[in-house]
Every structure is written in C-alpha cells, then in structure tokens.
Structure 1
Amino acid sequence: MSSTPVELRDVRAAALRIQHFLHTTPVLTSHSVDVLAGRQLFFKAEHLQKTGSFKARGACNAVFLEKERNPDSAGVVTHSSGNHAQAVAYAAMCLGLPCTVVVPKGTPKVKCDAICSYGAELVFCNPTPVSRVKTCASVAEETGRTIIHSSDNYDVIAGQGTIALELLNEVPDLDAIVVPTSGGGMLAGVSVTTQKIQPKCQVYAVEPVGKNLQRCLEAKQRLWSDPPTFLNTVADSMRLQAVGHLAFPIICEYTNTRVFTVTDDQMIEGMKLTFERMKQVIEAASGAGVYAAVKLIGEVQPKARKVGVILCGGNVDLDKLPWVMPITSY
C-alpha cells in the first residue's frame, strides 16, 4: 500500500502523546436503535471527549508537537466555528501556551463561553471562510503565534486517527464506519487508520446538502469554488463547504467514494433519536452520522452487520435546540 503523509505509526505516536490529557471515550450501543437500523451500531462517544468533541485529539497532538519542536513558541492561533477552537484553547492551556482563536459571528454562545473558559483570547470575524483565514493570518503575523488549522494539518489528522485506533481495538470486526465531515481532518485520520488496521472495513463520509464531496471524490479533484463558501445548515460545525487541501488526497485514497448527504431535517431526526433512545446529548453533525447509519447505509452496503458511528460532538446550545427554534441562515 502506498505511503501517505500520515501513517499508522504517526497515529500510534499521537495516541501515546495525548493519552494523559484526553479520555478514551466509550463505545455505546442501543438495542432499540439496532432494531431500527437492522444491524448492530457502535457509537464512538466523542461528544463525551474533553471540550465536548473529537477535535481535542487533533488539537492536542498538533499543539503538543508545536511545543516539542519549538520550546520558545509564542503560542498558537486558529480559526474555527467553535469545536476546534475550544480544542486548541484546551491544548494550549494544558501547556501554558498563549492562545488566540478566531470564530465567525453567530457561533453558538455555549462554544464561545467554553473557549474563554480555557483562557484563550476570542476574536470574532465575519461569517465567511475568507474572513476567517485573513483574520487568523493577521493575528499570527502580529503575535508570532503558530496557526493550528482544523483539518489542513498532518499532526491534527494523525490525532483524529486515534478515534479509529480506539474503536477498532474495541470492535475489530466492523464492516463500516460513518464519519460526519466538514474540513475532512477526522475523515482523513479515521480513513487512513482504518484501512491500515482493517482494510475490509469501509469508511463513508456524511455531509450536509451542498457539499458535493462525492463528485469531488469520483473526479479525484477539489471542484469547490475558490475561495470556498459556508453552507446554510443547522450543523454549525459542518458549515465549511470544501475539504482541506492536505486532507483531500488522503480521503481520495482511503475513503469510499460513496457519500451520504443528509438534510437538516434528517440531522434533527438523528439528534432526537439519540436523545430519546440513548439519552445522549449530541450536535446536529453527530445526528447526521446517526441518521446515515440507521437509514442510509443499507442502500450501499446491505450486508454490513456491524457499523461504527462517530458521535463527533455534543456542544449544543440548549436554549436553541433546532426543533424548537427557527434555523438561522449563515
């Protein structure tokens, strides 16, 4: 199998590097949900991870390596819709590094409050990918801090791969894993790790309407506009339309080209199902994965008996649950 910029050894090294600062999250099951799905589902509970999402894995690996490589580091800066920002702020706090995070206006208050609670400086930008990038670059230039990108960073991708490392250690005979996808760092990390450990296990991306990842995977080209846009979706952590430049080639090599596209209403259905049947509070992005595993995967892989589902985050603003509040356009 060909070499990639992120190898299994990098993921294993990341697991050792971050193990004392993060949870080994549980794998949850639900008989009633299995009945609905017609197969066994294994939910990797990253909504119970430090900072409330899987992002803490990649952020800790990247920030810790920044300190190892540069002991006199001036700190770190990132731009994110919230979850990666919290994660970088947490990782920086663990090492006592200064941290600035750039978030778009409209980011849920629960995420902004969490970022500040980790001691980071919060900077708001306009809710566009261009504004995020420019604002982050400006902060980096002014402060000398290193940018930790949410997905276009090989150290982050290796850290996210530890999700699959743990999941396959507990359930080694999975037939498939479904992965909610925004910038693609988790998808890249989970895909390369899974295919190195259990090549028969298929990894599928789950996306919001308008991302069109399948078309790009089939063409093996990033066909998104440049600069990319934000999607109008209830899943605030999945607004970014384009997959990152560094993540995309890894995804092309190791991820199944079939992509599950999920509407806002379907994400909400997945959220409510998890709330009601499993008593777990999850974000809309996690709900997308649940819906795909319960309703869609049988159309593509009908013989799959054991399917992993990444519950990627649980940072929900309980004052603005999507089924009781109007969906906000971004």
Structure 2
Amino acid sequence: MSREASPVDFEKVCEASNTIKGFVHRTPVFTCQAIDRLAKRKVYFKAECFQKTGAFKARGACNAVFLEKKRNPNSPGIVTHSSGNHAQGVAYAAKCAGLSCSVVIPHDAPKIKCDAIREYGAEVIFCEPSYTSRIDVCAKVAAETGKTIIHSSENYDVIAGQGTIALEFFEEVPDLDAILVATSGGGMLAGIALTAKAIQPSCKVFAVEPVGKELQKSLEAKECLWTDPPKYLDTVADSIRLQAVGNLVFPIICENAETKVFTITDDQMIEGMKLIFERMKIVVEPSAGAGVYAAINYLENIVPPLHKVGVILCGGNVDPNTIPWTT
C-alpha cells in the first residue's frame, strides 16, 4: 500500500537536498541573449534536461525511494505508474537503493522511455493509455507483491524532492522575479512554489499548462473542478497530458503559486522547443518548450513588471525519430 510522510514544508525540502545529494546532478543554469531580446527581459533556464534519467523526476523519486528504504528496511520493493519520466526516475532510484521495482506505463509511451526503464533494471508492465488503467494496474501489483506505491505527485517526499530545483535555482539567481513551471500532476509546481515562497516571498511561480487542463478555473474557485477520474489530454507533450493536479498538491499550489496560469497550444510548445534546439543547442521535450513560449510571449502585462524570470527545462527525453516538427 502507499505510505505518506508528514506534510511537506521548506525544512523537508532542505532535508531532501541532503538525502539525494550524490545521486542527482546539480543542474546548470543557462542564459541566451537572443531569447532575452525576444522576451524583453532576462530569462534563466534551469536545465533539468541534464538531470539523471533526463528529467527533474529523479529528484523526487530518489527522495521518496531512499526514505522508503530507511523507514522500511525489509521493503519488498517499489511500484509506480507513469507516462515515462517519473517511471525512469523511480527505476533509477530503486536501483541505487537496491530495491526491486515494477513500473506500470501506457503502451503508447515513447519507446526511448520504455527502454531506459528496463535499462535501470525495472520490470515494465504495460496498461491502457488512461489514468484509470494506470491506477488499477498499479494497485493490483502493489496488492499482489506488497510493494510500496510511489506516486509521481501525490507523495509528500516526492514534492520535497522536486522543491530542491528551486533551492539550487535561487543559489544561482537569488533575485528571480518569477519561475515558470510546466505542470501535469503538480508535484514540481507545488515543490517549487512552496520553496520559492520560503526563500523569496516576492517571487511569483506560474503554472504552464496544455490546452484543456484549465487549472486556473480550479485555482480561482479554490476547488478541484476536474472530472473524476481525470482524463488524458490530446497533446504532443506526453509528460504533461494529465488533466488534473492531485488532491494532495492542490492546497499547496493554491497557497503558494499564482492563480494566473499560462495555457500553451501544441504548436506553441513546439515553437518554444525548437527555439531552444536552434539557439541554445539543447535537446528538450515539448513540455519544456511550453515554459519557453510563455516566457517570451505571456509576461508583458504582469504587474509589477518581471525583470528576471526562471524557466524549468523539465526534461529532454525526446525520441530522435519523432521530433515534432519533422513528423
């Protein structure tokens, strides 16, 4: 069954930084004069595409898995469900911790992600491409094996691990006015927002979403307005296609992130992604392109003006055979 730690706070994020040290990269922060000119402000890119497993997910996964091993030394292992990046992170973390790992993944997930999961030694179990199928198959595996479920966002230890992104970012750029965060289940948004609020209360943290998520409506109502179960959105960004953020993260997001949400179309994501390829020579996923596009096009009317903006390049697990603008 799934086990949660105590609610996450800034202290837990600092503890997570120590827990995962040595197992994840301190990722670099890049700038690009060409993008600064387009955005009419300084833009700083936290390159989580260079993280272990190719995405930020390794942070939260390592914190959650290592703490599970500490709390339960005789653990039979870990099971999770994911569209790919969290699965790779958990598989990597389980390998580091010496734990057995099973991963439930939609059968239409990119092959590059499936292959990487297996390379980390995890068992891959395919399910139908729906959130309900992921949940049901994962729960069945947990019931049959006794393995602990590590959810991609509905886990306080995962949220704390993702918050370490902001810890590092503010050490590099202490006077950020805003951070843009591509959002799926909401674990990274929650972790970064609560950490930013603790370090730099004036820093605004904005969610960036695909069309159809409509997070802003729920934030304005302070109530989760999505369908139950949440659906998958039809978007090129497979890592942010879940319609709803989780019930666990929602209060954290309401308290610490901005109500204003930037909604990005697939074509706009691809434009941002392509710009990073061309100008910065960095391979990123469409979800990272969403933050890039928002930084250039959607910040002009924010008050007070934003002079220094951070963008999380959240992942780089792109299948070279299916680059969006070549298919």
Q: Which residue of 2 aligns with 1:316?
A: 318
Instruction: Quote how far apart the aligned CAs of 1:301 are.
Output: 4.1
2:207 paired residue number: 205
Q: What CA RMSD, in Å, does the superposition of the two structures yield over aligned residues?
A: 0.8
Deviations 1:254-282 (A, max 9, x none): 00000000000000000000000000000
Whole-Å separation in 1 of the counterparts to 2:98 and 2:8: 27
What CA distance in whole angstroms lies between the structure 2 residues aligned with 1:173 and 1:301? 17
Unaligned runs of 5+ in 1: 326-330
Q: Which residue in 2 is equivalent to 1:184?
A: 186
TM superposition shift of 1:96? 1.1
> What does the per-residue CA deviation read over 1:61-101, in whole Å, with 9 as the maximum and x for residues that have no partner?
00000000000000000000000000000000001100000
Q: CA deviation at 1:119?
A: 0.1
Give the aligned partner of residue 91 of structure 1: 93
**Partner of 2:44: helix, strand, or coil?**
strand
2:152 maps to 1:150: yes
CA distance in 1, matches of 2:120, 2:145: 19
- 2:111 counterpart letter in structure 1: K
User: What amino acid is aligned across from residue 110 of structure 1 in structure 2?
Assistant: I
Identify the match of residue 81 of structure 1 among 69, 75, 83. 83
Alignment equivalent of 2:275, drawn from 267, 273, 276: 273
Match for residue 12 of structure 1? 14
Letter in structure 2 aligned against 1:8: F
Among all aligned residue pairs of Structure 1 and Structure 2, give the percentage whose two residues are the same amino acid.
66
Q: How far off its partner does 1:299 sit?
A: 2.7
More deviation, 66-75/4-13: 4-13
- 1:218 alignment counterpart: 220
- Secondary structure of the equivalent of 2:326? coil
> Are residue 293 (structure 1) and residue 295 (structure 2) matched?
yes
Q: Which of 196, 209, 214 pairs up with 2:198?
A: 196
What residue in structure 2 maps to residue 37 of structure 1?
39
Query: In the TM superposition, what is the alpha-carbon distance from 1:5 to its structure 2 partner?
Result: 2.1
Gaps of 5+ in 2: 1-5
User: Match of 1:309, SS?
Assistant: strand
2:282 partner amino acid: Q
After superposition, the C-alpha distances for 1:188-233 in whole angstroms (9 at most, x for unaligned) are 0000000011000000000000000000000000000001100000
| Residue identity opposite 2:74 in structure 1 | D
Aligned twin of 2:136? 134
- Kindly provide the amino acid, as one letter, of the partner of residue 65 in structure 1: L
The verdict on how the C-alpha distance between 1:291 and 1:301 changes in structure 2, with shifts beyond 3 A counting, is farther
The alignment partner of 1:199 has SS state of coil
Distance 1:300 1:323 in 2: 31
Structure 2 Cα separation of the partners of residues 263 and 105 of structure 1 = 24
Q: Aligned partners of 1:42, 1:150: CA distance in 2, in Å?
A: 26
Q: Report what 1:120 is aligned to.
A: 122
Alignment-derived partner of residue 105 in structure 1: 107
- 1:300 CA drift (Å): 2.4
The whole-number CA distance in structure 2 between the counterparts of 1:240 and 1:299 is 28
Cα distance in 1 for partners of 2:80, 2:255 equals: 27
| TM-score between the two structures when normalised by the length of structure 1 | 0.97
Deviation at 1:294, TM superposition (A): 1.1
> 1:167 aligned to 2:169?
yes
Q: Which of 26, 29, 33 is the equivalent residue of 1:27?
A: 29
Runs (4+) of structure 1 exceeding 2 A deviation are 299-302
Matched to 2:219, the amino acid is L
Q: TM-score, normalised by structure 2?
A: 0.97
CA deviations over 1:26-84 (Å, ceiling 9, x no partner) = 00111111011100000000000000000000000000000000000000000000000
Describe the SS at the equivalent of 1:191.
helix
